[in-house]
C-alpha cells in the first residue's frame, strides 16, 4: 500500500474535539485519493520547517517512509515568525536548506517529495481586495528549491489567493475559523481567525491540491480516484 506522508503545520493537521470545528487539509484528503493509498498526516499546529525537524517529527516520518511513498511538504506560515527563534527561518537561506533536508529524506528511501506552497490568509484590505500577505518570499524560495532539486511543486498559494479574490471578504469567512457569533466555546464572539480552516475551507483547498496533482499527470495523477478526476 502506497502512503502519502504530510509534513506541515496547522492548516494541514488532523484535529480533534478540543479544536473543533477547525479542520486541516490533510484531515480531509482521503476523500480525494484512491482507497489503496493511506494518508499519514504528521502535520502539527505551529510548526515550521525548523521546529518540525528539531522536535523529531521528520525523524519519525523517516522511520516509516518507504519506496514508492510520497512526502508532501507544506510550510511557510510559521517560518516567517521572526519574533520566535525556535521557528523562524530566512526564506532564501535556512528555509530553503531545510526544505532540501525533507527532500533528501524522501529520496534516500525511494519516496517522492512534493513541495506545496502555503495557503494564503484572509488578508483583505477591503471587501474585495487582498493585501500582499506575508508568504511571498517563502513561496518564491520554495519555487526555487523545487526547480533546483527537480521536484514537483503544487502552488496552493496562488490558487488560494485566486479563490479568496473571487469570493470576497464576507463570503470567504465560511472557509476559515472566523466567527461573527460565539458559537464555539474556544472561539468567543467577535473572534477573527484568518489562518485556520473550517471543514468547507479544508475541502476547498484539498480540492485545489488534487487539481494540481491531476495537472502534473503521471504518478501524481494516479493517486486520485477516477471519480475525483472526472470532477476536477
> Domain residue spans in the chain?
2-231
> Nearest 5°: phi and psi at 122?
-80, 75
3-state SS, residue 145? helix
* CB atoms near residue 54 (< 10 Å): 13
Annotated catalytic residues are: 10, 189, 196
Q: Do 102 and 74 meet the contact criterion of CB atoms below 8 Å apart?
A: no
Q: What percent of the chain has pLDDT over 90?
A: 87
CA distance 146 to 143: 5
| pLDDT 10s digits, 31-42 | 999 999 999 999
> Nine-digit cell at 154?
503544487
- Predicted confidence (pLDDT) per residue in 186-208, tens digit: 655 556 789 999 999 999 999 99
Closest CA to 44 of 73, 86, 12, 3: 12
- Please state which CATH class domain 2-231 belongs to: alpha beta
The whole model's pTM is what?
A: 0.94
In this prediction, residue 127 carries a pLDDT of: 87
What pLDDT sits at residue 192?
Answer: 74
Amino acid at each position: 500500500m502506497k502512503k502519502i506522508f504530510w509534513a506541515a503545520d496547522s492548516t494541514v493537521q488532523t484535529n480533534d474535539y478540543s479544536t473543533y470545528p477547525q479542520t486541516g487539509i490533510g484531515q480531509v484528503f482521503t476523500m480525494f485519493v484512491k482507497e489503496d493509498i493511506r494518508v499519514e498526516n504528521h502535520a502539527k499546529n505551529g510548526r515550521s520547517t525548523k521546529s518540525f525537524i528539531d522536535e523529531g517529527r521528520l525523524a519519525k516520518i523517516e522511520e516509516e517512509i518507504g519506496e514508492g511513498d510520497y512526502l508532501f511538504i507544506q510550510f511557510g506560515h510559521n517560518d516567517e515568525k521572526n519574533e520566535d527563534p525556535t521557528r523562524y527561518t530566512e526564506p532564501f537561506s535556512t528555509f530553503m536548506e531545510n526544505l532540501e533536508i525533507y527532500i533528501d529524506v524522501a529520496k534516500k528511501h525511494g519516496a517522492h517529495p512534493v513541495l506545496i506552497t502555503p495557503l494564503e490568509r484572509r488578508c483583505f484590505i477591503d471587501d474585495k481586495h487582498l493585501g500582499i500577505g506575508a508568504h511571498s518570499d517563502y513561496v518564491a524560495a520554495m519555487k526555487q528549491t523545487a526547480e533546483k532539486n527537480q521536484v514537483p511543486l503544487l502552488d496552493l498559494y496562488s490558487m488560494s489567493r485566486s479563490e479568496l479574490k473571487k469570493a470576497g471578504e464576507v463570503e470567504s469567512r465560511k472557509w476559515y475559523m472566523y466567527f461573527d457569533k460565539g458559537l464555539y466555546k474556544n472561539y468567543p464572539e467577535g473572534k477573527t481567525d484568518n489562518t485556520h480552516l473550517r471543514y468547507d475551507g479544508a475541502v476547498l483547498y484539498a480540492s485545489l491540491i488534487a487539481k494540481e496533482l491531476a495537472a502534473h499527470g503521471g504518478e501524481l495523477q494516479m493517486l486520485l480516484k477516477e471519480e475525483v478526476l472526472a470532477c476536477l
